[in-house]
Structure 1
């Protein structure tokens, strides 16, 4: 199961880096190539959504089948293990949320940048006609 979380972490990191590179000012010379790379990667990154849903269901299943550790019925080591499990689940849920939000932001920013480029080209054509 750890490999799934590593893949999701790397995917969220790649999405964040691409988002950062698209929004940084001063990268106009490489922006066109960056936009084409990002647009070509949006479809494969769409697989993040069902993958995140699967991992979210996995977290929910583990939460429902987790043995409870309340009161004096468990030892301190079992209590610590229970708390670590809860912390891991919360961390993984945050990773899922981050991956989904980064994908949505990347999709939105890419479409906005493409639309701005199209509007700029239309503006240049209109100015050239006049």
Structure 2
């Protein structure tokens, strides 16, 4: 169970690094190459969206079927375990939504960059005419 969260954590870290690299100023040629490379990587890494969605469904199902420990019969250790599981679930929800959000941000940054390139080419053609 922990392996899938570790994988998702590494994917979010990689997405965050890519988003930072895409937004840092760099020479135009280097930026164009980098955006084209990331655009090629985006389609195979689309798996992260259904993976994160499945994890969210799993969290929801576990939350609905979790044993509540709110009565006075529960021991302190049981209460701590319950609270810890709730905090873990909240952390994992944030992780899943961050993975989806970062993927969307990287996709939009690449798309905007390609649109800017095409507009620059059109502007260059009009200037040459």
- TM-score, L = length of structure 2: 0.94
Partner residue in 1 for 2:124? 124
Partner residue in 1 for 2:66? 66
Cα displacement (A) at 1:21: 1.1
Partner residue in 2 for 1:85? 85
Q: Deviations over 1:10-60 (max 9, x none)?
A: 111111111111111234341112111110111122111110111011101
Q: How does 1:35-54 map to 2 (within 5 A)?
A: 35-54=35-54
Q: Secondary structure at the match of 1:90?
A: helix
- TM-score, L = length of structure 1: 0.93
Once the two structures are overlaid, the 10-residue window that deviates more, 28-37 or 110-119, is 28-37
Cα displacement (A) at 1:71: 2.2
Q: Secondary structure at the match of 2:68?
A: coil
Partner residue in 2 for 1:2? 2
The list of structure 1 runs, each at least 4 consecutive aligned residues, that deviate by more than 6 angstroms after superposition, is: none
Distance in 2 (alpha carbons) for counterparts of 1:95 and 1:115:
30
Q: How many residues align?
A: 129
Cα displacement (A) at 1:85: 0.1
* Aligned CA distance change for structure 1 residues 27 and 58 (closer, same or farther; 3 Å): farther
